[in-house]
Structure 1
Amino acid sequence: MPSKAESSRTKSLLFPAPQELRELVLDYLVHNSFNSTAESFVSESSVKHVDADGDEVMRSPERTLAEDLVDLRQRLIVGDLRKDIRTHILTGKIDEAKALLNKHFPSVLSEDTEEVPTSTSSPGRWDYLPSTSVNPEHLALNLRIQAFIEAARTIPLPYYPPGSSTPLPHPPLLSATTKLPPEDEDTEMLGPESEEANEQLLHRVQGLYSDANALTRAEDRARYLHELKDVGGLLAYIKPENSPLAAYMTQRRREGIADQIDGAILYRAKRPAVSRIELYARYTATLWGMLHEKDVKTPPRSTWPAGVSLPPSAGRSPETTLAPVKDTGVLENAVPAIKKPPVEKEAEEVLPPFDLHLFVESPERP
């Protein structure tokens, strides 16, 4: 027999309060910097109370909508800055991104090299740590490496914001011929602009090696020095975008740096690395996946709360329902047949893994 506390928790999970769902959606919007949508959502979803005459009233213990909006806008300021920094990185404007970081989030790139705790979770609370390093030494060097890559670029890489068909302006290329010439080409054929550009790139590489050798931990120094061998190799190609090192020149590389910096901003601001709804989805997928791997069977269906069903699975057919009997005018169709009661035995079924995409797209989802 479940206790009252267990029954209360089960009821809360099956029938969450409107305010709980509202906070879940708002947390997702704020975390992902959908600022205008978040403001509209707060205004449109505010809980209204009416008196006996149908007039709207506000209970005194509760916060007003205006107070909610003021609180929200303070949270959205950080979201605006995060979005601006991310956009700068995705368009290749590394110096602009660093300027915003140093002004608004100085601890992200500061010399403080505190170790990230292995776990900050407390009993009854779920936390999700960033999947990449938040060490300021690493972040600062990663941005410097990316700045070198952008300077070595010979073909513009446009960035299209989500939902836009027009790319944002990209930074000017250092030079159309910024690379060292092949061995069979006379260096005197290159103009002074190209020679100056090559000198700038060589100076940047030397600075990167100096920064890597200054890292505190020996294993970090070894890892970055190994990476710089490849990054420095970009200088050997007239068009690095068409070279074996082209992976460094892709938008995916920019996205990886942007994700790492954004995670560090959230970490330093003591904000979750992912939204609550994403955390719950990951937790659910992990839990159901482990149960499936261990061949855990479903409990008897007679014990399931009303409205509960298994999540859709690629290897499981949807539950079928009895189709209505077609009326053919025959007497047998008008009188239901007497059937023997089914045998009280339920087939055992292994719990399926949780697939978020199938769950969202499933027509069976309530």
Structure 2
Amino acid sequence: MSREEHLRSMVLEYLFPPEDHLMQVDLRQRVRKHILDGNINDAIVLLEQHFPAVLMSSDEPASSSKPGMHFVASSTVNPAHLNLNLRILAFTETFRVAYVDRTDSNAMSPEDDDRTIADLLERLQKLNVLVDMLPLAAERGTYQRELEGVAGLLAFPDAQGSPVARYLSKERRDNVASQINTAILYRMGHSATPQLELSTRYTFAILSLLSEWQILQTLVQKDPKMNEGPPLTFHRFVESQP
């Protein structure tokens, strides 16, 4: 394929993406929004329905992750890690709704409080089972420390003022949302390059191709005013269209 044919293909794909591509973009955005809004279970449902490979057990090599102090924010496409990261986040978000965001006027009854604590403890038990299933001791150790941290939320009357308050940080939503988005793109065989960088590349490609096709020069000849002011850019070209 010649350079011009490649550029032409990029332009057409950028300007006229296939319908299924648009649908996948919409689904990815919905998954991301659910995570950023703290609706983790809704995000998991969408992933299982439309991107099952993201959370499906596989033989993904352990090298796909970078264990560390903030494992939830690490770079990984391993389904076992992603599943754990989402479900740990679901635990902290359930705790947040029950004990942080709730107002005094909407305080829980003792019975509701008991049920919530029982639900959170059951979630912790299930998370421990998932951690025990990890194949590598280093991974198990990292996640066990993570679970000890989030379990500590139950030990403090004022979790936001406690040593484990960082587990309630909304930055964790951002980290997991980005991680899941990258994993979706990876499983779909797409580039995980940040969208801004891709858009910049496409813009330069489009400008190059338009220049080769002499479209920009034709526009300037038709409207001499476009020669005035800043140089003609792709943004100005789009704005000039009816």
Scaled by the length of structure 1, the TM-score of the pair is 0.46
Matched residue, 1:96: 42
Whether the aligned pair in 2 keeps the contact of 1:139 and 1:261 (CA below 8 Å) is yes
1:151 is the counterpart of 2:94: yes
Residue 133 of structure 2, aligned match among 210, 214, 221 = 214
* Per-residue Cα deviation, 1:88-140 (whole angstroms, up to 9, x for no partner): 1111111111111111111111111323888xxxxxxxxxxxx7100000011
Matched residue, 1:246: 165
Residues 138 and 249 of structure 1, relative CA distance in 2, 3 Å threshold? same
* Per-residue Cα deviation, 1:187-221 (whole angstroms, up to 9, x for no partner): xxx72221121111111112211211111221110
Residues 176 and 203 of structure 1, relative CA distance in 2, 3 Å threshold? farther
- Structure 1 residue 21 displacement after superposition: 9.1
1:72 is the counterpart of 2:15: no
SS at 1:216 equivalent: coil
1 CA distance for matches of 2:132 and 2:142?
11
**Consecutive unaligned residues in structure 2, runs of 5 or more:** 65-73, 202-229, 234-242
**Aligned 1:161-200 pairs, distance under 5 A:** 176=107, 191-200=110-119
Residue 273 of structure 1, aligned match among 192, 196, 202 = 192
SS at 2:114 equivalent: helix
Matched residue, 1:136: 79
Residues 280 and 87 of structure 1, relative CA distance in 2, 3 Å threshold? closer
Residues 149 and 25 of structure 1, relative CA distance in 2, 3 Å threshold? farther
- Structure 1 residue 20 displacement after superposition: 3.9
- Structure 1 residue 238 displacement after superposition: 2.6
Matched residue, 2:227: none
SS at 1:152 equivalent: helix
2:40 maps to amino acid:
I
Larger-Rg structure: 1
2 CA distance for matches of 1:145 and 1:108?
16
* Per-residue Cα deviation, 1:324-352 (whole angstroms, up to 9, x for no partner): xxxxxxxxxxxxxxxxxxxxxxxxxxxxx
Number of equivalences: 190
2 CA distance for matches of 1:197 and 1:107?
31
Whether the aligned pair in 2 keeps the contact of 1:113 and 1:136 (CA below 8 Å) is no
1 CA distance for matches of 2:195 and 2:154?
44
Give percent identity, aligned residues only: 37
2 CA distance for matches of 1:259 and 1:276?
12
Moved over 6 A (4+): 279-282
**Aligned 1:49-128 pairs, distance under 5 A:** 68=16, 71-115=17-61
Residues 176 and 254 of structure 1, relative CA distance in 2, 3 Å threshold? farther
2 CA distance for matches of 1:143 and 1:110?
13
2 CA distance for matches of 1:89 and 1:264?
14
- Structure 1 residue 233 displacement after superposition: 0.3
1 CA distance for matches of 2:133 and 2:10?
45
- Structure 1 residue 156 displacement after superposition: 3.2
2 CA distance for matches of 1:209 and 1:215?
10
SS at 1:222 equivalent: helix
Whether the aligned pair in 1 keeps the contact of 2:160 and 2:168 (CA below 8 Å) is yes
Residues 249 and 26 of structure 1, relative CA distance in 2, 3 Å threshold? farther
Whether the aligned pair in 2 keeps the contact of 1:89 and 1:97 (CA below 8 Å) is yes
1:113 maps to amino acid:
D
2:114 maps to amino acid:
E
**Aligned 1:201-350 pairs, distance under 5 A:** 201-275=120-194, 278=197
- Comparing 86-95 with 206-215, greater Cα deviation is found at 206-215
- Structure 1 residue 258 displacement after superposition: 0.5
